[in-house]
Amino acid sequence: MNLIFGIAVTVIFYILTADAIKKHPGAFYLGIYVWCGAVVMYFNLGYDQKFPEWFNVYFMNMFSRGIFTTATFMVVMYLGVITKHNKLSRKLMSVRGEISIIGSLLTLSHNVVFGVKYFPMLFTNPKAMPTRELIASSITLCLLAMLIPLFITSFKVVRRKMSGKTWKKIQRMAYPFFIGIYVHIMVLYSADVKVHLSGIIIYTLIYGSYIVLRLRKVALKACKSRIATEQAV
């Protein structure tokens, strides 16, 4: 239930802040770093023990467990498969690049926090790591390798200096990156399938729906292209 709540809160957040993000993207980027640091301090200094359980479960865990980050990329990717935009989707579409940057900053911050524990062992003594953690850490490295160029080329100042063909080629890595997030989550959830069963079902439905919509958009594009070619002849 808290997963659905977290995803809903994320979507609502971007709807309400879209105009502000468009006007002051730098402030939001800086704010993300400050907030990530605050979340780390909140748990490391034991403040989670001083606040009500519901506050941790329904709010703070959104950030500590990466729900807000994953939902951010869901917003970005789902905007790309919409074939008929309405006022709301157009509003989000206008800051899709900025939302992507926010998601990237959240991901990098998340990996700094957890990487301190897992990455040194992965590079120095991988055999000592439990199989599940080894797989999850390896997947994370692959995700970071894809994320960094996606992150850098999401900035408009960088995009302007690139050819459209090159930019689109790099941005296509967003598809395996997005699917890789799902694989990473499933590896972590496999530690206790019964406990995480609802999360597994929800994520699978969301990702499955995305794949269907992506294939649908590709099919529609191919159909339109074929019709245009036939009419030209």
pLDDT of residue 111: 81
Q: What is the pLDDT of residue 27?
A: 95
pLDDT bracket for residue 45 (50, 70, 90)? confident
Kindly list the domain boundaries of the chain, sorted by start residue: 2-232
Give the span between the Cα atoms of 215 and 221, in whole angstroms: 10
Look up the pTM and report it.
Answer: 0.89
The rounded distance, in Å, linking the Cα atoms of 20 and 104 is: 19
Show Cβ contacts of residue 185 under 8 Å, excluding neighbours closer than 6 positions: 70, 199, 203
pLDDT band at 232 (very low <50, low <70, confident <90, very high): low
Q: Structure tokens of 122?
A: 């992965």
Non-local (6+) Cβ contacts of 48 within 8 A are 42, 56, 60
pLDDT for position 222: 83
- Position 181 pLDDT exceeds 70: yes
pLDDT level of residue 233 (50, 70, 90 thresholds): low
In tens, the pLDDT along 48-82 reads 899 999 898 888 889 888 899 999 999 999 999 98
